[in-house]
Amino acid sequence: MHEKHLNADSSPLIDQDFLAVTRRDMVKFAHLQLRDASQAEDVVQEALVAALDNAGGFAGRAALKTWIFGILKNKIVDLIRQQARTTNVSALSREEENLDQTFDTLFKANAHWTPGARPRDWGDPEESLRQQRFWDVFDACLKHLPENTARVFMMREFLEFETPEVCRELSISVSNCNVILHRARNGLLRCLEKNWFAPGEHPC
Amino acid sequence: MLSCKEVTHLLSEGQDRKLTLGEKVQLEMHLAICHGCRNFRSQMDFLREACRRYVADRQRGDD
């Protein structure tokens, strides 16, 4: 479908392999945030078409890919903005309530950690970040977050909005935003603790 | 004295806004004596770094 772009002799940067890899990464990125395969495909398609129409003049593929992802992020934000008008992001699902209850069980009545729940030292983070299996776990933990919680978190951390902008875009109060981000971060930390950092879970 | 639970909230908000001087002082006082919360802070920093790296890796040109 991008025949004319693939053959465009003005852009030797872009070939079939580059497009395939870029597209795959874009779909993964979009799917994680939109949680809908066909929406992800659509938004990636739109972003690629927009990007490739103006892809001249890049010094290298890295710069080009960053720019393409910038377009993708804008498209994702547009879609989230539209959806925010019809969904109540601050509504609590049972999954969110479960996360909150689990978090509460980590503390004694005086709100200090129970001995078993006291956060442990995760050692050298670089070592985890270098391992592909860590990223598989990280991916799985992100997918495991409740939808609305994940949406707020990803706008903050992946689309790199400032927190007040996230609240404004999704029409939620700042304090609600804080509660949701706290829930997301704790949910992810516990998921990583359980599935990656727990002793004996992985051989390295 | 802040409770550990309150500290988790402040550390999370610290990633989203500048904490006030009063908040910082209270936080540091707690962290000075609470090993669990110091680990929690490191874990939060780790999470942010992982997110940053996740996005960067997706965007990197593969050549």
What is the amino acid identity at position A66?
T
Same domain, A11 and A34: yes
- Tell me what the mean pLDDT of segment A118-128 comes to: 91
Chain A residues close to B53, C-beta within 8 Å: 129
Distance from CA of A83 to the nearest CA of B (A): 23
Q: Per the structure, how many domains does chain A have?
A: 2
A72 with A135, same domain: the answer is no
A166 domain-assigned: yes
The string of DSSP letters for B15-35 reads: TTSPPPHHHHHHHHHHHHH-H
**Averaged pLDDT for residues B33-62:** 91
Q: Encode A25-59: b = buried (16+ Cβ within 10 Å), e = exposed.
A: bbbebbbbbbeeeebbbebbbebbeebbeebeebe
Mean pLDDT on B17-27: 97
Residue contact A158–B13, C-beta within 8 A:
no
- The CATH number of residue A115's host domain is 1.10.10.10
Instruction: Give the dihedral sign, CA A132/A134/A135/A140.
Output: positive
pLDDT at B61: 57
Structure tokens at A125: 């983070």
Whether A102 is covered by a domain: the verdict is yes
CA distance A75 to A114: 44
Please state, rounded to an integer, the average pLDDT across all residues of chain A. 87
A75 Cα distance to chain centroid = 15
With respect to residue A135, please indicate whether it lies within any of the assigned structural domains. Answer: yes
The residue among A84, A109, A128 that closes a domain is A84
A163 interface with B at CB cutoff 8 Å = yes
Phi, psi of A113 (to 5 degrees): -55, 140
Task: Say yes or no: ipTM exceeds 0.90.
Answer: yes
Co-location of A102 and A187 in the same domain: yes
| A145 plus A66 within the same structural domain | no
Is residue A89 situated within a structural domain?
no
Q: Are residues A119 and A193 in the same domain?
A: yes
Q: Name residue, tokens 């979009």.
A: A30
Q: Please give the residue range of the domain that contains residue A56.
A: 3-84
Distances (CA, A) of A138 to A6, A143, A175, A194: 34, 9, 27, 11
Whether residue A159 sits in one domain with residue A80? no
Q: How confident is the model at residue B63 (pLDDT cuts 50, 70, 90)?
A: very low
Q: What does the pLDDT look like over A22-68, one tens digit per residue? A: 999 999 999 999 999 999 999 999 999 988 887 777 778 888 888 89
> Are A36 and A78 in a shared domain?
yes
Structure confidence at residue A200 (pLDDT): 60
3-class DSSP state of A62? helix
Calculate ∠ Cα A76-A81-B54, nearest 5°: 35
CA distance, residue A116 to nearest chain B CA (Å): 11
